Amino acid sequence: MSELIRNKIRAIPDFPKPGIMFRDVTTLFKDAQGLAETARLFYEHYELWSIDKVAGIEARGFIIGAILAEKLGVGFVPIRKKGKLPAAVMGEEYDLEYGKDKIEAHLDAFEAGERVLLIDDLIATGGTALAACNLIEKLGAKIVGCGFVVSLPDLGGVKKILDRGYEVFDLIKFNGE
């Protein structure tokens, strides 16, 4: 989609464990031109959609999600790790490679029937994104799409999200790299 964005994403081999090629978007976000291009591309894709709220997954999904929400003129909802939100929450547990984790959102984060766009920095196996979709729907809202800066299609997460009937938009794909 944009070579500018691709070239600003740092690859870190063997992080967090051997055999993993970590795609670090902090190098993209620290660059004013890269951050602006990322926000512009998301906005151009979603500007005509009927969206009531943008939800961003902790932590890097907060960055683009909040910028996009402001550009679209809608509210932003953080999807946080367990125990980080101060008011009453609902949670969704999901599987990790070696165990489980949980994300949460405030009970009053969404109004019934609101149309929500989910944003995160990266989609790999899809566990966190699918958990966020489940959580948003349990809270009474409807997922209209899932946007990611980076997708790693070889890891199957995009297919899982598409199989659930959600639209997926990504800016950059890293296939087997």
> What are the catalytic residues?
60, 97
**Tokens 């997926």 sit on residue:** 168
49 vs 59: CA distance, rounded Å: 25
**Tokens 């909802």 sit on residue:** 77
Other CB atoms within 10 A of residue 40 CB: 13
Our CA angle for 23, 161, 146, nearest 5°, is 70
Beta bridge partners of 22: 12
117 vs 121: CA distance, rounded Å: 13
Written as six digits, the tokens of 171 are: 């800016």
